[in-house]
A = this chain, B = another copy of it.
């Protein structure tokens, strides 16, 4: 735990450097480091809080809930999922859902439950750096497998080669943080076939953990595939951080689809994790989720922001992966050493996270969930950075 706490993330290092600069009076700083949405929560959230406070007793609002959350909240979520992803042969209900402290809490409880110490969990690089902590906390190995060049789709053959008799799970997130890639049905089909084959071959369950904080944030008519439709042993870890702009409230859930091997036993295990490690959603926030489960995500907001920064940077000449979803730009660094590039960008007031923390080389991540003005006003600094290098040096 000391290593996790003292070994600062690249994001935290950037944050502290920018604080120091601000104290020196420097004000031209554009902080693109963290995925903390500046888009306000929808009005319905405030209304839900007011309604809850006005109509319920203190005990109803603030009393203990079951560790898996209030049944009425789980039913509201199940109804929403059935509307969007249900069909006759596949309905979700409250007993498939466990409310958690965000997707982070969901992942934490899931990994605690399904793994034994020493097992492997595969992640696809570039990957969200916190996955490493969630995995290593339970004394498991975080095994990174590169995605495909250019498309950043899963490289199923490479994943297959990484699977061994101690592999317990593969974590995916579509749309992806940091690349914005939305996985295609074809690649998920291929991944599912391979995993099924490996389950048979190794005679053990291999879970596909679908981490979905950005599920609804998809652009240009892209369809984000519903992962449980492809693979039976999928566990979905969801967060309302982005769809309702509530990251600090730590509101999320685990969905255990009925198709999962030993569904009830896994569900009981997750209840045990909730009891033992306490990644539980707060009670007032549960009431908010119950009332807001059907509110759509602010996709238009993020589409507008993407437009500003994506076109701004490509017009200058930057090689940027066009994101089909989420709210990050994956930018090829102007020199191969991503740390040196991030340092140089910092001299221009631009806070960009170097890719090594994501298990990848020669890129930086820009988070565009900030205010529009921050995006547009940063473009001259990006131009100056470009001029400084004279374009790509590799």
Q: Give A residues with C-beta under 8 Å from B.
A: 1-7, 34, 36-38, 40-41, 45-46, 49-50, 53, 57-59, 61-65, 101-102, 104-105, 108, 112-113, 117, 130, 133-134, 136-137, 139, 245-250, 265, 267-280, 282-286
Whether A284 contacts B249 in the complex (CB less than 8 A), given A40-B58, A277-B277, comes out as: yes
Q: How far is the CB of A200 from chain B (nearest CB, A)?
A: 24
A105: B residues at CB distance < 8 A:
278
Q: How far is the CB of A10 from chain B (nearest CB, A)?
A: 14
Beyond known contacts A5-B270, A63-B247, A101-B282: 7 more, CB 8 A cutoff:
A1-B272, A4-B272, A64-B247, A248-B283, A249-B282, A250-B282, A279-B279
Does B276 lie within 8 Å of A4, measured CB to CB?
A: yes
Q: Which residue of B lies closest to A35 (CB)?
A: B64
Does A279 lie within 8 Å of B277, measured CB to CB?
A: yes
Interface of A is mostly: helix
Does A248 lie within 8 Å of B65, measured CB to CB?
A: yes
Q: Which residue of B lies closest to A54 (CB)?
A: B46
CA distance A265 to B57 in the complex (A): 43
A65: B residues at CB distance < 8 A:
248
Q: How far is the CB of A353 from chain B (nearest CB, A)?
A: 15
Does A276 lie within 8 Å of B134, measured CB to CB?
A: yes
A269: B residues at CB distance < 8 A:
1-2, 5-6
A134: B residues at CB distance < 8 A:
276-277
CA distance A265 to B108 in the complex (A): 23
Q: How far is the CB of A367 from chain B (nearest CB, A)?
A: 12
Does A102 lie within 8 Å of B268, measured CB to CB?
A: no
Does A272 lie within 8 Å of B108, measured CB to CB?
A: no
A to B CB contacts below 8 Å, 27 in the list: A1-B112, A1-B273, A1-B276, A2-B265, A2-B269, A3-B272, A5-B268, A5-B271, A34-B64, A37-B59, A38-B59, A41-B61, A45-B62, A49-B49, A50-B53, A108-B278, A112-B137, A130-B275, A133-B272, A247-B283, A248-B283, A249-B282, A249-B283, A277-B277, A277-B279, A279-B279, A284-B285
Q: Which residue of B lies closest to A274 (CB)?
A: B5
A46: B residues at CB distance < 8 A:
53
A275: B residues at CB distance < 8 A:
4-5, 130, 133
Q: Which residue of B lies closest to A113 (CB)?
A: B1
A248: B residues at CB distance < 8 A:
61-65, 282-284, 286
CA distance A45 to B269 in the complex (A): 35
CA distance A112 to B279 in the complex (A): 14
A265: B residues at CB distance < 8 A:
2, 6
A58: B residues at CB distance < 8 A:
40-41, 45, 245
